[in-house]
């Protein structure tokens, strides 16, 4: 699942008659003027890129110059996003950062195939005429509207003018002999000015929305970019989790079975020495018995470690393994497993293990944190597309996905969410205060990644 491209706050409602006095209206007007002031510099930057590309097209090393200039369009995009966020409160998440590949030719090619830089450059070019038109139209409307509303105040300062019939008039002239100097004409002018002033904020808003649409389309991350970034993050999380699991297994082997086997070897060596020297046979027998007991304990620990790598219960099938988990839970769990869970197409072993550990983690959370009297486990298959695991309890609620310790490691629900995301799955938590808590895990039923 990908996050939305724009995290924009819901705008406050502005009434038609009071829009002129709204803070938002004047912020939008200021935004258009800022875009107007930046437009010449943006045009010069884009024009400079085109000139450099044309001049240095026949060289090789020289192409790095326009390539770097093109990459600099990302900085312009960041500035435009900052203006939209700081002035309009319209937040656009930035695209994925540029990653310079290794190698001369790959580095050169990456500069010119960076889609986010090209889209930022296109925004700079497209918004040049739009900024001029928007600023001119909105400024002229405001001046004309304000001038018409205040016309009775400044009409008397206009010079007298003679019409074609010889009569003299003091007022604005429209056409050849039409002067706005009668009470009716003055009233109509003021009324027209009031209408223009009332309409002006909405014309302004229309231009601002157009800039927002362009910003959202050209300055934010694309769906594919978001997908690639999400896959990179989940891949990194999967590698990190795998490394942590290997380290944990190594630590468990070192602290448990390895230490016990060393003790067994020492005891057996001591028993051999006792027997070789013809000393007390009972002492040697006691050492062998102790080594035998330690060996059995080591086998138990090894089984626990192996169970952490691949649960033996899965050898009997995923439904049986899940029912066994539910039966072991200290909280009574009702189980409903889709009979067709593995009938149409058996899940791959990696996905079976993921579903098993997901259910184990969720049931453990129910037992430790929920205070629930009962829980429900439902596992269904959505055709051939996905497996849905739903665990619900009647506990106190308030479950959240967060870091559970101060080490920076994701544990609990957060760790489970990372593991599920690594195979393009999802985890949804609904846990209002007071309960109930419902956690839904969706795992693709196709091939694991």
Give domain status of residue 324, yes or no. Answer: yes
Same domain as 416, residue 298: no
Instruction: Report the C-alpha dihedral over residues 103, 78, 408, 307, rounded to 10 degrees.
Output: -60
Nearest to 395 by CA among 367, 362, 416: 367
Instruction: State residue 132's pLDDT score.
Output: 95
pLDDT of residue 361 exceeding 90: no
Q: Count of residues for the chain? A: 449
Is residue 362 situated within a structural domain?
Answer: yes
Model pLDDT, residue 424: 74
pLDDT of 211 reads: 93
Q: What is the pTM of this model?
A: 0.55
Q: Is the pLDDT of residue 343 over 90?
A: no
pLDDT tens figures, 201-254? 999 999 999 999 999 888 888 776 666 666 666 565 555 665 566 677 667 666
Amino acid 228: pLDDT = 64
116-120, 271-275, 351-355, 397-401, range with greatest mean pLDDT? 116-120
Is residue 339, in this structure, part of any structural domain at all? yes
Element (DSSP H or E) covering residue 437: strand 437-444
Domain assignment present for residue 350? The answer is: yes
CA dist 16 → 25, 125, 139, 203, 362 (Å): 11, 33, 19, 12, 52
How many angstroms separate the CA atoms of 229 and 219, rounded? 16
309, 340, 357 - which closes a domain: 309
Residue 321: is its pLDDT beyond 70?
A: yes
Is the same domain home to 106 and 131?
yes
Q: Exposed/middle/buried for 263, CB within 10 Å: 0-12, 13-18, 19+? A: middle
Other beta carbons within 10 angstroms of residue 405's beta carbon come to: 9
What percent of the chain clears pLDDT 70, i.e. is strictly above it? Answer: 76
> Which pLDDT tens digit goes with each residue over 174-212?
767 777 777 888 888 889 889 998 999 999 999 999 999
Rounded CA gap, 200 and 445, in Å?
A: 56
Domain count for the chain: 3
β-pair partners for 438:
392, 430
DSSP secondary structure string for all residues of 221-240? --HHHHHHHHHHHHHHHHHH
The CATH number covering residue 422 comes to 3.30.565.10
- Last residue of one domain, picked from the residues 259, 286, 309: 309
Check residue 232 and give its pLDDT.
62
Nearest CA to 394 out of 309, 325, 331, 326 is that of 331
Give tens-digit pLDDT for 118-158. Answer: 899 999 999 999 999 999 999 999 999 888 888 888 777 77
Residue 11 located in a structural domain: no
- What pLDDT score does 327 carry? 83
Q: Which two tokens stand for residue 190?
A: 């003021």
Of the candidates 180, 174, 201, 7, the one whose C-alpha atom is nearest the C-alpha of residue 91 is 7
Q: Cα separation of 357 and 349, whole Å? A: 12
Query: Does residue 438 sit in the same domain as residue 424?
Result: yes
352 in the same domain as 251 = no
Tell me the residue range of the domain where 403 lies: 314-444
Integer Cα distance of 105 and 60 in angstroms: 10
Does residue 277 fall inside a structural domain? yes
Is 118 inside a domain boundary?
yes
């Amino acid at each position: 699942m990908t996050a939305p491209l724009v995290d924009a706050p819901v705008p406050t409602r502005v009434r038609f008659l009071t829009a002129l006095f709204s803070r938002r209206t004047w912020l939008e007007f200021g935004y258009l003027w800022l875009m107007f002031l930046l437009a010449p510099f943006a045009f010069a930057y884009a024009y400079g890129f085109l000139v450099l590309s044309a001049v240095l097209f026949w060289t090789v090393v020289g192409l790095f110059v326009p390539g770097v200039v093109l990459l600099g369009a990302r900085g312009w995009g960041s500035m435009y996003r900052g203006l939209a966020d700081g002035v309009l409160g319209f937040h656009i998440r930035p695209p994925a950062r540029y990653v310079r590949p290794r190698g001369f030719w790959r580095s050169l090619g990456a500069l010119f195939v960076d889609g986010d830089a090209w889209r930022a450059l296109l925004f700079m070019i497209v918004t040049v005429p739009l900024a001029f038109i928007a600023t001119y139209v909105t400024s002229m409307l405001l001046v004309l509207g304000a001038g018409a509303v205040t016309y009775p105040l400044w009409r008397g300062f206009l010079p007298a003018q003679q019409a074609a019939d010889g009569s003299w008039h003091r007022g604005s002239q429209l056409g050849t002999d039409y002067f706005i100097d009668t009470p009716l004409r003055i009233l109509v002018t003021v009324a027209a000015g009031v209408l223009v002033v009332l309409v002006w904020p909405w014309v302004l808003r229309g231009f601002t929305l157009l800039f927002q649409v362009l910003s959202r389309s050209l300055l934010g991350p694309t769906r594919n970019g978001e997908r690639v970034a999400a896959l990179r993050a989940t891949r990194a999380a999967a590698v990190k989790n795998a490394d942590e699991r290997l380290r944990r297994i190594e630590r468990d082997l070192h602290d448990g079975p390895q230490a016990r086997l060393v003790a067994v070897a020492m005891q057996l060596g001591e028993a051999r020495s006792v027997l070789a020297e013809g000393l007390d046979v009972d002492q040697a027998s006691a050492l062998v018995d102790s080594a035998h007991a330690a060996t059995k304990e080591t086998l138990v620990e090894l089984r626990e470690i192996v169970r952490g790598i691949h649960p033996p219960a899965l050898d009997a099938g995923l439904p049986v393994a899940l029912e066994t988990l539910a039966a072991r839970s200290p909280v009574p769990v009702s189980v409903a497993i889709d009979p067709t869970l593995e009938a149409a197409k058996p899940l791959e072993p990696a996905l079976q293990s993921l579903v098993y550990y997901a259910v184990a983690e969720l049931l453990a959370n129910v037992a430790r944190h929920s205070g629930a009297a009962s829980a429900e486990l439902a596992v269904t298959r959505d055709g051939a597309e996905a497996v849905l695991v739903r665990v619900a309890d009647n506990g106190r609620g308030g479950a959240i996905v967060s870091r559970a310790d101060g080490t920076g490691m994701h544990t609990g629900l957060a760790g489970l969410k990372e593991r599920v995301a690594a195979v393009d799955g999802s985890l949804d938590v609904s846990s209002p205060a007071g309960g109930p808590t419902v956690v839904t895990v969706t795992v693709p039923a196709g091939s694991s990644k």
